[in-house]
Amino acid sequence: AKNQFLCSICLDVFTDPVSTPCGHNFCKTCITKHWDKNYKCQCPNCKKTFNTRPELQVNTFISETRIDPVENLEDRMCTKHNKLLELFCKTDQMCVCMLCSISDHKTHDVVPLKEEYEGKKAELGKTDAEIQQMIQKRRLKIEEMKRSVELSKKDADREIAAGVQVFRALKESVERSQAEVIDTIKEKQRETEKQAEGFIKELEQEISELEKRILPH
């Protein structure tokens, strides 16, 4: 059936077809954007959720056997009823004809193909816009963080300079105080020595006077 060559996300012939682990096929760009938008890895067809983004397998069979794209989706024919595929079954995520909609897909959610196609295209466009917005937000955040780091560096440089100045002033103050203490001690020592020299001189004079009083034998 030609439906096997249509991506259920963009409703167009596969471009770079890939397969998910659950066995469904999509355009590589379509499924990647779908997961980027939804923030969780879930198959659009069977709703199977993957804990981590799975590795997509290139579907070489579809690549080699897919039909040539046609300009209008409505030009494709249902192989079962030989009717135009002008409807889309949202339940089974596939293109159907009018007879399919009242037989095999009778109880399913079926909408005009053109409506679904335009909706999917708008959704993909919105996804692109949202991704661009997310990229822009992250770029602005990077610039903001760079400015914050630069301001922090300038603040750190100012604090270092201020700290160096404080310790330099403190060092100079300590050195001045040390010099003053040394000068005071030295001055005190000089006074002590001068005073002692005076006492010694007086005592030597007294000894000399006393020696003169001793009578010779």
Of residues 7, 2, 5, the one with CA closest to residue 79 = 2
Q: Is 98 exposed, middle or buried (0-12, 13-18, 19+ CB in 10 A)?
A: middle
Q: What is the DSSP letter of 27?
A: E
Burial 82-93 (b: 16+ CB within 10 A, else e): eebbbbbbeebb
User: How do the pLDDT tens digits run along the chain, 217 residues long?
Assistant: 445 667 888 887 788 888 888 888 888 888 888 888 877 788 888 888 888 888 887 765 555 444 444 444 445 778 888 888 888 888 887 888 889 988 988 899 999 887 887 777 776 666 666 777 878 888 999 999 999 999 999 999 999 999 999 999 999 999 999 999 999 999 999 999 999 999 999 999 999 989 888 876 5
To the nearest 10 degrees (0 to 180), the angle between helices 28-38 and 113-213 is 60
Beta strand pairing call for 25-27 and 17-19: antiparallel
What global pTM score does this model have? Answer: 0.33
Domains recognised in the chain with CATH numbers: 2-133 (3.30.40.10)
